[in-house]
Amino acid sequence: MGGDITMKILYMMQAVFLLFFTGTSPVLAGTVQEQIVALATTEAENGVVQGKDGWLFLKDELEHLGSKAFYGPEVLEASKAAKPEFGDPLPAIVDFNDQLKERGIELIFAPIPPKALIYTDKLPGDFSSEMALELEQPYKDFYTKLSEQGVHVLDLIPTFRAAREKQQLYCKTDSHFSGMGLALVAEELGGIIEQGKWYAAIDKKEFSKQTRDVAIHGDLAAMQKTDTEENLSLQFITDTASGKAESSDPASPVLLLGDSHTLVFSVGGDLHSSGAGLFDQLSAELGLAVDLLGVRGSGATPSRIKLYQRSRKDASFLEKKKTVIWCLTTREFTGSGGWRKIPVAKK
């Protein structure tokens, strides 16, 4: 702990020296993970790092991106969990998967990659594509470990990397993916779910799509205390028969579970819009209304507690499910919420 504080002080002294005498940001030394953490330490104001071309990055995300591993003893070095015994996400994810599998339900674990991992070139400084690949390795290792223990992981990093040159996959001024990014996630999820034997027998419905431009005041811009707005292109989904936005269906065979990535552009208010989020896009992709259990806080433990509460209230809740999609930001791997094992139903 003392060594970490000393390093942060040294990085800050280096930054102050270079900014004062040269007017430039520091060229950071050390591994690429150490450089990312140093960037978060020296460049962040009000929890936000100002990047290139108007891109903003969450300090917590950069600190997470500097982690050397996401499971085992090494993750505890980066974990912000209050209790070390809840710092490793691996046991809780495997346990959740095993519980669902016992009930004949498939889990698709779909972590949303850090914006700074896909758009590393938009960070201040000079981060090469080779450095970005080095930052990617701990995710590969973690997803391989999960797969070895039977968890179906949708690794979105390669998909996002391939699409980033043609589409803006994240909001510049917000911590969430953009309309284009979430549509890509819905397409990937749809491709997996449609392969299920049960899917062909389900009655489908028609959805209509309308693309509109929307101006948002992103959460990162709000943290900066600026009035900066960002224009996004969103695809709004409606039930063709009723002409209305779709509602969550508790009887749906598909459950979308997770953090605010399951809610943004779907529920309105400070999450910017309604009828154009991942829930809406996935419903249109599948031709059926999915069930939604999203939380605004941590998608790690609180979302599973919410599922448990639902199944305890309705004993038949899980009997209706064929697939559970668990979608949350990767920074939860090292987040303060921790990773407790939670039952999916009352025993």
Confidence class of residue 179 from pLDDT cuts 50, 70 and 90?
very high
Q: How far apart are CA 320 and CA 341, in angstroms?
A: 23
Residue 139 has pLDDT above 90, yes or no: yes
CA distance 206 to 8: 55
* 34 neighbors 63 (Cβ within 8 angstroms): no
- In angstroms, the CA 113 to CA 115 distance is 6
Q: Is the pLDDT of residue 136 over 50?
A: yes
pLDDT of residue 29: 58
Q: In sequence order, which ranges of the chain are alpha helices (DSSP H)?
A: 2-21, 32-43, 59-65, 89-102, 115-118, 129-148, 157-163, 179-193, 219-223, 278-286, 302-313
Q: What does the alpha-carbon distance between residue 137 and residue 184 come to, in Å, rounded to a whole number?
A: 22
Mean per-residue pLDDT, 56-81: 95
Q: Could you tell me the two tokens for 331?
A: 């920074």
pLDDT for residue 18: 42
How much is the mean pLDDT over the chain?
92
| pLDDT score, position 173 | 98
pLDDT on residue 8: 43
pLDDT on residue 307: 97
Segment 185-197 mean pLDDT: 97
pLDDT at 249 over 50: yes
Confidence of residue 130 (pLDDT cuts 50, 70, 90): confident
pTM of the model: 0.91
Average pLDDT of the residues in 93-112:
98
For residue 87, give every residue at least 6 positions away whose Cβ sits within 8 Å of its Cβ, in sequence order, or none: 75, 76, 79, 81, 334, 338, 339
- Is the pLDDT score of 238 beyond 50? yes
184 pLDDT higher than 90: yes
Give the pLDDT band of residue 23 (cuts 50, 70, 90).
very low
Is the confidence at residue 183, as pLDDT, over 90? Answer: yes
Note whether 235 and 276 are within 8 A (CB).
yes
The single residue listed with the structure tokens 């900014």 is 19
Among 14-18, 184-188, 213-217, 336-340, the range scoring the smallest mean pLDDT is 14-18
The pLDDT tens digits for 106-128 are 999 999 999 999 999 999 988 88
Mean pLDDT for 61-77 is: 95
Residue 16 has pLDDT above 80, yes or no: no
The SS3 call for residue 77 is helix
pLDDT (tens digit, 9 = 90+) per residue, 253-293? 999 999 999 999 999 999 999 999 999 999 999 999 999 99
Helix (H/G/I), strand (E/B), else coil: 233? strand
- Report in angstroms the alpha-carbon separations of 104 from 97, 99, 152, 189, 320: 11, 9, 14, 19, 10
Please tell me what DSSP assigns to residue 328: E
